[in-house]
Amino acid sequence: MAITLPSDVGQSINLTDLVGEARERYAAQRPNSEAAHHRALAVLPGGNTRSVLHFEPFPFRVVEGRGAELVDVDGFRYIDYCGNYTASLIGHRPARVRAAIEEVLDRGWALGSPHEAEIELAELLCARFPSMDAVRFTNSGTEANLLAIATALHHTGRRGVGVFDHGYHGGVLSFGDFGGPHHPLNAPHEFVVARFNDIDGLDELFSHELGCVIVEAVQGSGGCRPALPEFLHALRRRCSETGTLLILDEVMTSRLGPSGAQGLFGVMPDLMTLGKYVAGGLSFGAFGGRKDVLANFDPASGGRLTQAGTFNNNMLSINAAVATLRYELDDNELAEVNARGDRLQEQLSAAFGRAEAPMWVTGLGSMLCVHAKDARVLELYFHAMLDRGHFIARRGFMALSKLITDAHTDALVADTSAWLSDMQVSGLRTATP
Ligand SMILES: Cc1ncc(COP(=O)(O)O)c(C=O)c1O
């Protein structure tokens, strides 16, 4: 039984009305979130300070995270499939990270001096990621990418920066439907945008003089689009041939295996960046890579670059990151969460396929994204899952945490299938003109 493509539905079934009803139902159940939203609108433009968190009619406000769950101000509990857009890989309030934070609270956290934990973290990261000979810390993934790009341009003495359509490297490095090369907030670099996964298109990209190319092995915010391995290998080759530095943005993808996407795809970048889950949910970023490139920050080696940042080595994030890497992320757990994500992708794809729904799933491992041909169908699915206690990101994105179990994903798949049959019963299928 097929759900009619919304484009075929025409006026006979009003998806817009269904979306309106879903929003009204959602709003009626959440008076506290609604009141908070109105309060926020007066002082936070759009009611938030992180645009992606907004959805219509207003986002629920959280009070608590517990393991795999979020709890909101109206008392609703959700299994957190959004996972803070990959940052909650180890779940909410992980015990060993909490212990590390408490230990820092006893000693002080804004000490403005080098300490030993930053050395330990650098050692852990350099041991973990093959391309990381040396590393420097930042406060976010965006900052890590900005610094990696600036470092690469300084090192090569060139100005061009190769990027890909749908690439997202931070709010000021955004090249998708959500912005394009001329996104008004983008950093003022000389970006050259090429098509992701288009090996032939690399000829045009490399006809420009580039200091670096930055790429994700799975475009996360761009809709969980995995790179073709041969595309990454071709990119690596072209970079080497032209003296262009390859920056692998592993802010999201480093969760895909013990040595990140570089291990999984067998691609060694010159520089790589990190963020998201590494500090167990605290703010964090890092850029690192080839020793000769990072030596630009070492005056003893003739380096002329300095990197400022009041909170670069803040005690809370650095110690939380050490605890995350040492105790919360063993290789088996990482393998498990990624295998579970692959299974979930297969199961959801099968459910959409069986229903002949105009919806599909992309991704790799624990990063996946549900898509729909019509944006209203995706919004209906989002609200339907929220009604049933599954919080996926409004745009369909999911990043599993290691605390999400097979029982959770089985329930999500079952609820998806039930919703798909409800949609058919409610007449979407029969509404073909
Ligand atoms: C691939 C990628 N790079 C960089 C960033 C930016 O990280 P942050 O939000 O910590 O600045 C993100 C955030 O979503 C990301 O997905």
- Mean pLDDT, rounded, of the chain: 94
Q: Tell me if 324 CB under 6 Å of ligand 1.
A: no
Q: Which amino acid is at 396?
A: G
d(CA 324, CA 334): 12
Helix-helix angle 331-354:406-425, to 10 degrees: 10
**Does residue 19 contact residue 26 with C-beta atoms inside 8 Å?**
no
Give the ligand 1 atom nearest the CA of 142: 11
Q: Tell me if 283 CB under 6 Å of ligand 1.
A: no
- The Å distance, Cα 187 to ligand 1 centre, comes to 15
- The Å distance, Cα 283 to ligand 1 centre, comes to 11
User: Phi and psi at residue 270, in whole multiples of 5°?
Assistant: -85, -35
Give the pTM: 0.95
Q: Tell me if 140 CB under 6 Å of ligand 1.
A: yes
Which three-class secondary structure state does DSSP give residue 39?
helix
d(CA 144, CA 379): 33
Q: Tell me if 85 CB under 6 Å of ligand 1.
A: yes
- Sheet with strand 359-364: strands edge to edge: 359-364, 367-372, 397-399
The confidence score (pLDDT) of residue 177 equals 66
Q: Indicate the Cα dihedral angle 106, 110, 112, 117, nearest 10°.
A: 50
The confidence score (pLDDT) of residue 51 equals 94
d(CA 26, CA 51): 20
Token pair recorded at residue 92: 């909410």
**Does residue 19 contact residue 376 with C-beta atoms inside 8 Å?**
yes
Q: Tell me if 214 CB under 6 Å of ligand 1.
A: no
Q: How many residues does the chain have?
A: 433
Give the ligand 1 atom nearest the CA of 276: 10
d(CA 192, CA 242): 15
d(CA 21, CA 7): 20
The confidence score (pLDDT) of residue 184 equals 85
Beta bridge partners of 193: 163
Of 49, 53, 137, 142, the one to substitute when testing ligand 1's pocket (max ligand atoms within 8 A of C-beta) is: 142
Smallest CA-to-CA distance from 51 within 137, 179, 163 is with 179
Q: Tell me if 252 CB under 6 Å of ligand 1.
A: yes
Q: Tell me if 421 CB under 6 Å of ligand 1.
A: no
**Does residue 257 contact residue 263 with C-beta atoms inside 8 Å?**
yes
pLDDT along the chain (433 residues), means of 10: 45 82 98 98 97 97 97 98 98 98 96 97 98 98 98 98 97 78 88 96 98 98 98 98 99 98 98 98 98 98 97 97 97 97 98 95 98 96 98 98 98 98 67 34
Give the ligand 1 atom nearest the CA of 284: 10
d(CA 339, CA 60): 30
d(CA 253, CA 366): 9
Q: Tell me if 275 CB under 6 Å of ligand 1.
A: yes
Give the ligand 1 atom nearest the CA of 52: 14
d(CA 104, CA 84): 24
CB atoms within 10 A of CB 111: 12
The confidence score (pLDDT) of residue 208 equals 98
Query: Residues 352, 357, 362, CA angle at the centre, nearest 5°?
Result: 50
Within 8 A by CB and 6+ apart from 35, the residues are none
d(CA 342, CA 398): 12
**Does residue 290 contact residue 130 with C-beta atoms inside 8 Å?**
no
Of 276, 366, 369, 395, the one to substitute when testing ligand 1's pocket (max ligand atoms within 8 A of C-beta) is: 276
